[in-house]
Amino acid sequence: MVGLAFKAIEPDKTALLVKVKPATADPETNVVFLGTSRIERGIIPQVFDEMTRNFGMDGLHSYNAAQGGESILEGISDSEELFRVKKTGIKFVFIEPDLVSRLIIVESNTERAIEFFTLAHAVRAIEFMDFPVRSPPPAIPTIIYLGHIAGASLQHYFNIGWMRVEPEPPNLSISASSRGFPDLDPKMHQSMFTDDRYLEMARVIGTEPPQPGLISDLQFDLILSLASYVQSHGAVPILVRPPQLSHWEFADAVAAKFSQRCQGKGPLFLNFSSAAEYGELYDPRNRMDEDHLNLAGARIFTTLVAQKLATAMRDGSLAKPLCG
């Protein structure tokens, strides 16, 4: 194939630049976090490992494989790659069930998008093109949506226009030892500027009645299929709704749909939507901007996730049969 030839000649042009690759390269990795930049900037692997040890869970070595703009579609792809390389040994996979992000379609002429769009992934992306939001809003027109997928797929297999591919910039915010957390990003040490609008948004989060109808059963089934896939490979899937503000109504809809359809069943769903319950996570002093935690906030969030995992281990929540 032309594509294989170019990969041999110019491997850096077609490298799979997703963070699940270095996660699988670490022989100790047995916990993986998948999701958007909210998870990428919210989970510190070293803190998670330390806190789980403190809570009585030894031997966990986590990797933050989340990346900006990753939707559930890329999460599925990452899981496939994860278990292709590490067929055994993965204990937990934390998943942010994002049905909104569309970065690989909006920015389709990138190595990340081109490597993603195999035929199977292209078909799935078309099948689920009516996700709640084609981000960023306004919605991507259908002809452009399909055109971007077709263009990326053609480049994936035949390297059509491969010389014009926009190279992925090196991620200078992540050190070699941070296991995927952007520890070198100076913004992680900043606190956001706040105003009355933010405070009102934070107050509303978790208080308005959720609208499960924003998420279709078909879309929710895609999330459950990923959880089932993870479980079929011997790992425990855990869903995480992070303390987000952008598109919060859709994140809440997923949580509401879960409560509606999966009462008394797994996977474990960690829901951090309530600013009343998790005030520290919405405190401007612990955020770098409206949608992301800073370093102080990430330490708090990571500790809470570790604590909830330890609690679920003790009370048997992880042993519940998966929702179907």
Q: Where are the domains of the chain?
A: 19-103+169-315
Q: Smallest Cα–Cα separation from 72: which of 218, 263, 271, 202?
A: 218
The whole-number average pLDDT for the span 176-193 is 94
Window from 9-18, 147-156, 167-176 with minimum mean pLDDT: 9-18
The reported pTM is 0.89
CATH for 19-103+169-315? 3.40.50.1110
Q: Give CA separation, 149 vs 62, 117, 121, 146, 294, in Å.
A: 33, 7, 9, 5, 34
Say how far apart CA 309 and CA 151 lie, in whole Å.
Answer: 42
186 falls in which pLDDT band (50, 70, 90)?
very high
- Name the β-bridge partners of 62: 31
Residue 161 is predicted with a pLDDT of 52
Strand 268-271: give its sheet, edge to edge: 62-64, 31-34, 92-95, 236-241, 268-271
Backbone phi and psi for residue 74, each to the nearest 5 degrees, phi listed first: -70, -30
The whole-number average pLDDT for the span 240-256 is 92
Residue 264 DSSP label: T
Helix (H) or strand (E) holding 271: strand 268-271
Residue 6 is predicted with a pLDDT of 32
